Structure 1
Amino acid sequence: MDSLALIGFLLGLIAVLVGQLLEGGQLGALMNGPALLIVIGGTLGATLLQTPLKTFLHAFKMLRWVIRPPVLPFADGLRRLVNWSATARKEGLLGLEQLVDREDDIFARKGLAMLVDGGEPESIRGAMLTDLELQEQRQLQSARVFEAMGGYCPTLGIVGAVMGLIQVMGNLSDPSRLGSGIAVAFVATVYGVGFANLLFLPVANKLRALVLAQSQYREMLIEGIVAIAEGENPRVIENKLAGFVNPP
């Protein structure tokens, strides 16, 4: 569990709420149903309009990564690659056949299977890189869903503000209705900017960083499996890939 992400969100939210109190305002003044409906409903509508349904649903499946990021065992992955290399040198590539079905990582399993089948190093590299690039592209597109929401949200806040001001201007003769219109106007702006900068944009950037880290882990697997196919020494492979585990 990534507690830092949760702490960051709560810290930002608490800072806004405490700031409201220190300014002499009340927390209830920030609670406005119509403003929330305009901002969140409008943002979701605009995002759905530009996003394929499959990508939209995948984005919300990835949302759990913010709190529970995927495990990327760089050190354990390197250790496995070195062990596979040692096994291949002792028993030949067919000695790895029994390891294929026991490999939990689908990406690594595919590489092992091609290795056992006697695939050429460049053929293995090409196939695995294609899988990596396609997966990375799909996941980055999902991360961009939240980036788009962060872009639309402040604009919808302005729309809510203008609608609130229209309400105010249309009821100048009735002072009792001015307060609600002004509240919608300013609270909608707060919602738009707040959701964008405290939630949607940070989530998008966090997901993008996790996707790139996952791709880096898979690049290590590709380089290791290709090195095994080329018959490199286990120690050479370990030294070659050490930078993935302990970056400078």
Structure 2
Amino acid sequence: MDFASLLGIISGIALIVVAIFLGGNPDVFINVPGLMIVAGGTIAATLLTVQFRDVLNAFRAAWIVFTRDKTNAQEMIDTMLELSRISHRHGLLMLGDIETDSRVLQRAANLLAEAASEQVIRNTLQNEIDSLIARHHTVQDVFRKMAMYAPAFGMLGTLIGLIQMLSALQDPETIGPAMAIALLTTFYGSLLATVVFLPIAGKLRARTLSEVTNLEIIREGCISILTNDHYAHVYEQLSSYLPEANRKPLRMGSKQKTETGDSSKPKPQGNKA
């Protein structure tokens, strides 16, 4: 579970709720018609803009943000180094027997085992990267649109409230409460946009960048393995994807710790992409 995402959204909502309770009567912040206008209007406008399937995929991806840890580039580098070790010891054909959770890594290993050309491997994995970016952009766009529509419907609800208030100016005592109710929809719209929709879109974008980095590591690692680069050369090339402070030192020879243990049945644990 990504505790940073969960902590962020819970702490943001909690601070706002505490501020409301400290400021006085929290009941004045509850207005069912205003919630209906903002929430219902935002969902309706989003469904008019994008396909229903994309909306479902967006909320499914948001759930993944809170339940699945971020992919680890260092683990992917270790996996590619292990594949390099296997190919040098047993040949490229052995890579077709690896077991991994990553569909892309499995496909890349099969291409290596089939002795595909460098151009085929590069084009295939680049297509995977482009496809992932396109899919994730669609998901992020759903939440960006919802972040745009929510304040707009909040303002619309405020205008409705002001119209109703102005129609009853003959009773001065109702002006204050009516104005407060009218402003609540703007509050709801801003709250949803800034605390929910925009942070989720930003988190999804960060997750996309992380997964793209992993796919690029797979691509460059496979090309290095295909060209029979030395183990240390593969490490130097792939470690450039990490900040220098986060790079693990390279261990050679018998001190090298591998992920698989038994080289006859390699099982690199790649991340899902």
Q: TM-score, normalised by structure 2?
A: 0.83
Structure 1 regions of 5+ residues with no counterpart? none
Checking the alignment, whether the CA contact within 8 Å between 1:115 and 1:229 is kept in structure 2 is: yes
Deviation at 1:245, TM superposition (A): 4.0
Range with greater deviation from structure 2 (157-166 or 74-83) = 74-83
Aligned residues: 245
Checking the alignment, whether the CA contact within 8 Å between 2:2 and 2:69 is kept in structure 1 is: no
Q: After superposition, where does 1:109-188 map in structure 2 within 5 Å?
A: 109-173=106-170, 181-188=178-185
Alignment-derived partner of residue 265 in structure 2: none
Letter in 1 for 2:7: I
Alignment-derived partner of residue 50 in structure 2: 51
Q: After superposition, where does 1:204-215 map in structure 2 within 5 Å?
A: 204-215=201-212
Deviation at 1:135, TM superposition (A): 1.4
Alignment-derived partner of residue 260 in structure 2: none
| Pair 1:97 & 2:96 matched | yes
C-alpha distance in 2, partners of 1:160/1:27? 20
Range with greater deviation from structure 2 (62-71 or 193-202) = 62-71
Deviation at 1:219, TM superposition (A): 0.7
Deviation at 1:71, TM superposition (A): 4.2
Deviation at 1:242, TM superposition (A): 1.2
Deviation at 1:175, TM superposition (A): 6.0
Letter in 2 for 1:154: P
Alignment-derived partner of residue 3 in structure 1: 3
Alignment-derived partner of residue 86 in structure 2: 87
Letter in 2 for 1:152: Y
Q: Secondary structure at the match of 1:172?
A: coil
Q: TM-score, normalised by structure 1?
A: 0.91
- Two-structure CA RMSD over aligned residues (Å): 1.9
C-alpha distance in 1, partners of 2:69/2:136? 13
C-alpha distance in 1, partners of 2:17/2:86? 59
C-alpha distance in 2, partners of 1:75/1:181? 57
Deviation at 1:142, TM superposition (A): 0.3
Deviation at 1:61, TM superposition (A): 0.8
Deviations 1:103-160 (A, max 9, x none): 2210100111111111111210111110111111111210111111111111111000
1:226 alignment partner, one of 209, 223, 228: 223
C-alpha distance in 2, partners of 1:6/1:179? 37
More helix by share: 1
Deviation at 1:179, TM superposition (A): 6.2
Range with greater deviation from structure 2 (89-98 or 31-40) = 89-98
Alignment-derived partner of residue 75 in structure 1: 74
Deviations 1:41-100 (A, max 9, x none): 11111111111222211111101133124441322222221121122122221122221x
CA distance 1:18–1:98, shift in 2 (3 Å)? closer
CA distance 1:76–1:4, shift in 2 (3 Å)? closer
C-alpha distance in 2, partners of 1:33/1:234? 64
Structure 2 regions of 5+ residues with no counterpart? 246-273
